[in-house]
Structure 1
Amino acid sequence: MLVIQERIEAQESWDEELLLTFEARSKSRLRCFTVKGEDVGLFLERGQPPLHDGACLRSQDGRVVRISARPEPLLHVTCANAFELTRAAYHLGNRHVALQIGDNWLRLLDDYVLKAMLEQLGARVENIEAGFQPEHGAYGGGHHHSHHGEADFNYAPRLHQFGVRT
């Protein structure tokens, strides 16, 4: 089994490749297979952002492993104007939906209930298959309800770099 425990900077060349859905890229512990079929065990540091398309890892035997976003069923949302797109994003955000944001479009994992809601709001919704890379969120520490000073769950929020696109 190829054991991977380390994230590294993106590399121009790599030895192996993992094709993973967004859900799989969000896990710190995962058993999966390279595109060549080799068994892989991911044991990454917990509490880190999801792996993004193009990220690289180093295996215990020194090989560089590139992460690629596996195409998955998505809803591609466009609207007649910026107000309607902002309104659609508001309603999705109010439901804590993971969103990929592009120039004049939104993408989310396929969901027939959300698709109906978006169409009711007047959005154009197209079913597509593509890699999904949603916004990570403004705070990197995760969500919890601890009180200030509780050592087990207290953390200083790490702000997301707004406007940075990968």
Structure 2
Amino acid sequence: MSQEVSGNAAGQRVLSDSPPFIFTRILEPSSPNPEKLATTEVPRFTLALTAHERTKSRHYFEAQVFPVLGTMQSNEAYANTAPLNTQGIYLRLPRGTVLHHDDQLTTEKETAVLQIVAKPEAVMTAIASNPLDLVKAAYHLGNRHVSLEVTLNYLRFSPDPVLKQMLERMGLTVTDDILAFQPEAGAYGGHPPLETHHHHSH
């Protein structure tokens, strides 16, 4: 069944009833035909995911549907555009893929674009009075295999009162926040290399 785009009474273009789109790969800057989606009108979706949800490379979600703005626009253009409705979508990415904020995915035949957004979630943010204390804190959290967002100014992790108490004893200030959480993927995590994006015949 084809996935068609139709108009409503207000003149906006909305997705007609259709089966879920299946997104199979991340758009890379070095894709064989990077300009194709920039010059083609395609449905545009946004999917807000927590850090844990961004590790689910094969999963069903409901994404927000945005109107087609003529050609593929910048993310900023869609940030100021209200979604029309929601659409069921499947992720069918290589196992082990970890998605990141602003990743853009497409389907097997490049019939739609899905933008990934880091969804605000409950986190704890630790700051230190000097860089060395922050490095020491990162070391101790790493020893506990904590998913950790590391920057020059703060460390961020999922809420854990035991870890909060440990860091406060080390002299750090720890706050409870609702923010986008973007932990390090690890030395072996993240996007598979481009050569892993191959097709299987069935």
Give the structure-1-normalised TM-score.
Answer: 0.77
> What letter corresponds to residue 130 of structure 1 in structure 2?
L
Is 2:25 aligned against 1:6? yes
Find the aligned partners of 1:14 and 1:84 in 2 and give their Cα distance: 48
Find the aligned partners of 2:173 and 2:116 in 1 and give their Cα distance: 31
For residue 96 of structure 1, give the secondary structure of its aligned residue in structure 2. coil
Is 2:85 aligned against 1:56? no
Q: Deviations over 1:27-47 (max 9, x none)?
A: 111111112321111111113
The range that moved more, 33-42 or 123-132, is 33-42
The structure with the largest alpha-carbon Rg is 2
Structure 2, unpaired ranges of 5+? 1-19, 30-36, 65-84, 194-202
Is 2:92 aligned against 1:92? no
> What letter corresponds to residue 15 of structure 1 in structure 2?
R
Name 1:42's counterpart in structure 2.
Answer: 91
Name 1:29's counterpart in structure 2.
Answer: 58
For residue 86 of structure 2, give the secondary structure of its aligned residue in structure 1. coil
Structure 1, unpaired ranges of 5+? 142-157, 159-166
Residue identity over aligned pairs, in percent, reads 38
Name 1:18's counterpart in structure 2.
Answer: 47
The CA RMSD over aligned residues, in Å, is: 2.3
Q: Deviations over 1:41-79 (max 9, x none)?
A: 11111133x100000001356101100000011111101
- Indicate conservation of the 8 Å contact 2:131/2:152, yes or no: no
Aligned pairs (5 A) from 1:152-163 = none
> What letter corresponds to residue 52 of structure 2 in structure 1?
E
Q: 2:179 aligns with which of 130, 135, 153?
A: 130
- Indicate conservation of the 8 Å contact 2:55/2:96, yes or no: no
Name 2:159's counterpart in structure 1.
Answer: 110
Find the aligned partners of 1:131 and 1:89 in 2 and give their Cα distance: 19
Greater than 4 Å deviation, 4+ residue runs:
10-14
Find the aligned partners of 1:14 and 1:89 in 2 and give their Cα distance: 42
Name 1:150's counterpart in structure 2.
Answer: none
Q: Deviations over 1:69-115 (max 9, x none)?
A: 00011111101111211111111000011111112211111112211
Name 2:131's counterpart in structure 1.
Answer: 82
- Indicate conservation of the 8 Å contact 2:59/2:92, yes or no: yes
Find the aligned partners of 2:131 and 2:186 in 1 and give their Cα distance: 21
Find the aligned partners of 1:89 and 1:14 in 2 and give their Cα distance: 42
Q: 1:72 aligns with which of 121, 136, 161?
A: 121
Find the aligned partners of 1:2 and 1:117 in 2 and give their Cα distance: 45
